Structure 1
Amino acid sequence: MSEEPQKIVALVDGSAYSASVCDHAAWLSGRTGAPVELIHVLGRREAPERPDLSGAIALGARTALLEELAELDARRAKLAGQRGRAILEDARAILDKAGVAQITTRLRHGDLIEALAEVEADARMIMIGKRGEAADFAMGHLGSNLERVLRASHRPVFVASRAFRPISRMLVAWDGGASAVKAVDHIARSPLFQGLETHVVTVGSATPEALEGLAHAKASLQAAGIMAETAVLPGQPETALGKLVDEAAFDMLVMGAYGHSRIRSLIIGSTTTAMIRSCKVPVVLMR
């Protein structure tokens, strides 16, 4: 049995990716029996902020203008709250239709990372879309909130692709680093990954160290009842992994958030960022 916390936390913002986040959350819930908590965070700019006009009493027309601006801010905040509740209702409807039994919703004001810190202790997975409302689709930029979540979260992060498709084949990127070891351990312990066709690959040269690492990963998964194929791919991770995902029709990529050799500080690795940006399938990241 898994000892993971039970809740799946799905972050929804009304972007094109929100429906996909919900579809993937329903899939995760169906495989694990976990409840889903839907969270929409209203940014500080969307919260009502009535300015202090006490020092402007003698400003005449400007006082009236400031009051009008304050009323406008209040109306904007009210509309943002109504929109947030509508986003959560739409998300709940998707989960209801998919048969998710336990659903909760939470509308929060303030900072996304602060909201995440409050709930992630009870979460087995954090789910977020690759891009949010403000992301530049044409440039392939990652959403700014996604990058912040990846840096801040201590739980596995499931980065949803643009649209859901059934998941049966999983590619696990292995580089021998602590994040990769943790990813394999998590896969072995979680019911989410049971029954998926699993391939573990490392990119680079077939050194004794690389082969030993792959053998260790395979043995760990096999002990959990997961039969995995292993391979060494030539080239650079940024291109080789993405090419393999496309050519071999993998449905999901699992990898460590931090690389073994390149990353020594608490920043998301360049390989990780490149893979999320280029992959057309969901990416699960482990710290």
Structure 2
Amino acid sequence: MQIPRPGGTAGLAGRAVSRVGYGAMQLERLRGDRAAALALLRRAVELGVDHIDTAYFYGDGFVNGLLGEAIRPDDGVTIVSKVGATPDPGGRLPLRPAQRPEELRASVEDNLKSLGLDRIPVVNLRRLDAGPGLRAEGDQRVDLDDQLAVMTAMRDEGKIGAIGLGSVTLDGLRRALPAGIACVQNAYSLVCRDDEPLLRLCRDEGVAWVPFFPLGGAFPQMPKVTGEAAVVAAAASLGRTPSQIGLAWLLHHAPHVLLIPGTSSVAHLEENVAAGAVTFDEATLAALDAVPSRPADVPLG
């Protein structure tokens, strides 16, 4: 029996994938219960999830190792990883920038080894130019063209199937498009919509829009989608959770949106996938569209 794909499908690197995928970062919380982590990944596949986002720096290879063990070739899952940072367990933050071309290449090799793959379907270059999170300083401020040169070289070598970008500006995406960009990952949600022009450019160019922090609130300074009155009202009216309303709004907002909500709970995973079935009437959607947008740009270093 064919499993229905949650939220329908949209294009990613030339393939139709479920619009509700899974972000694997929170699997690190299950470091002490590997069986539970593997069971969660198998449940995601059972639910029709075929797009999983990861990174070597999620648990210093731990999360990638779980994916390599749990995801089988015949599952048809598109694995998307990212480069541009590296673990820094002893630092002020658990990550530090790793933007230089030789660091990008080393990170791709780390991802290949930890995932047990010869080729990663999509690798996102996290630029650190925009949105909440790390900022590049000193020799970590690298020209985009130099980074794209090594990314395209690795694509030509067969190590990468397609190239994505993350935390990128509108000008950065315009510069990168000739290299062939499959997706963009920027912070974006109902309450943080500064990147609307970037989202529209992606739509026009056939580039998938994959928002991280899709419910806002990742840092204390950021607004939370689930606290908005219109979101709470819609959830009560439809018998859904505020989180499901926030995720569903993203799917309704543009057809090229792909979601990668993360969790370490099977119940929460099932709730996220079910958001793909939420529908809105015109009045509810208008009320959600009217929620004001606030800045999401919260530098951390």
TM-score bracket for the superposition, by shorter chain length: under 0.3
Decide which structure has greater strand share: 1
